[in-house]
Amino acid sequence: MIKLNQILIVEGKYDKLHLAGLVDTLIIPTEGFCIFKDKEKIALLRQLTRQHGAVILTDSDSAGFLIRNRLKQLLQGLPVTHVYIPDIAGKEKRKSTPSAEGQLGVEGIPLPLLQQILTEAGVLCQQSDDIKGRITKTDFMLWGLAGRQDSARKRHSLQKALNLPSRLSANTLLEVLCRLYTKEEIETIVTQMFP
């Protein structure tokens, strides 16, 4: 597993799933063109990129470049590294036919090649010490944010109070909180919100 201090922005959930076994960092999918209108996710990307920097890794087709160029505008002036995959003809295993342009997307690129691309881009780090705190799933359970009937409601309330997108999964919320807050900060907030 390779480590990045920056967050990694990809196009879709299959790109995220493919990279999750290779890269130790917060991976956020744009959900394709949905990023163009998702103000909550845009605000989250700006906040995370401002604090940690971002690596943008999209497909090399026209849609991937359209999304990449929109992200350039949205994150202008912030520490962003653009990483590109090569044009490789083929189709992803889960698809019955190739894409319109006949190229592999991020999810279809072999992991050793992706590791080489990220290494050559100079985005790997020796350690991820700059992450502010290690909030765990156990903490979520102790705070009532997981494992209880009202946990989803509490997470949603916390996300709203912290101006985070409401559609974050519990695991993604955990990763985001680790990037933005210390364990003590979140414990204080949760204790005040849910005495």
Asked if residue 179 and residue 144 are part of one domain, the reply reads yes
In a domain, 73, yes or no: yes
What is the average pLDDT across 30-34?
91
In a domain, 130, yes or no: no
The closest of 124, 120, 125, 91 to 108, measured between CA atoms, is 91
In a domain, 175, yes or no: yes
Helix (H, G, I), strand (E, B) or coil at 175: helix
Which two three-digit tokens encode residue 107?
A: 């999810």
pLDDT at 146: 92
Evaluate if residue 103 carries a pLDDT over 90: no
Evaluate if residue 131 carries a pLDDT over 60: no
Pairwise CA distance, residues 74 & 77, whole Å: 9
In a domain, 128, yes or no: no
Residue 133 pLDDT level (bands cut at 50, 70, 90): low
**Higher-confidence residue: 187 or 129?**
187
Asked if residue 98 and residue 69 are part of one domain, the reply reads yes
Evaluate if residue 175 carries a pLDDT over 80: yes
What is the average pLDDT across 69-95?
90
In a domain, 131, yes or no: no
Asked if residue 176 and residue 102 are part of one domain, the reply reads no
Looking at 59, 89, 120, the residue that finishes a domain is: 120
Q: How far is CA 36 from CA 4, 33, 138, in A?
A: 26, 6, 35
Looking at 88, 120, 152, the residue that finishes a domain is: 120
pLDDT at 167: 79
Q: Characterise 9 by phi-psi region: left (phi > 0), alpha (psi -120 to 50), beta (else).
A: beta
Asked if residue 159 and residue 91 are part of one domain, the reply reads no
Which domain does 101 fall in, by range? Answer: 2-120
Q: Mean pLDDT score of the chain, rounded to an integer?
A: 89
Q: How far is CA 96 from CA 19, 93, 195, in A?
A: 22, 8, 52
CATH code assigned at 69? 3.40.1360.10
In a domain, 84, yes or no: yes
In a domain, 48, yes or no: yes
| Percentage of the chain modeled with pLDDT above 90 | 59
Looking at 120, 150, 174, the residue that finishes a domain is: 120
CA contacts within 13 A on the Cβ side of 163: 9
pTM of the model: 0.77
91 contacts 104 by C-beta, under 8 angstroms = yes
Q: Residues 53-63: pLDDT tens digits?
A: 999 999 989 99
**What residues have CB less than 8 Å from 96, skipping those under 6 apart?**
none
Asked if residue 102 and residue 18 are part of one domain, the reply reads yes
Asked if residue 98 and residue 44 are part of one domain, the reply reads yes
Evaluate if residue 128 carries a pLDDT over 50: no
Asked if residue 153 and residue 116 are part of one domain, the reply reads no
The closest of 153, 151, 120 to 137, measured between CA atoms, is 151
pLDDT at 48: 94
What is the average pLDDT across 55-80?
94
pLDDT at 92: 83
In a domain, 148, yes or no: yes
Evaluate if residue 98 carries a pLDDT over 80: no
Asked if residue 75 and residue 13 are part of one domain, the reply reads yes
Asked if residue 24 and residue 64 are part of one domain, the reply reads yes
Give how many domains the chain has, as a whole number: 2
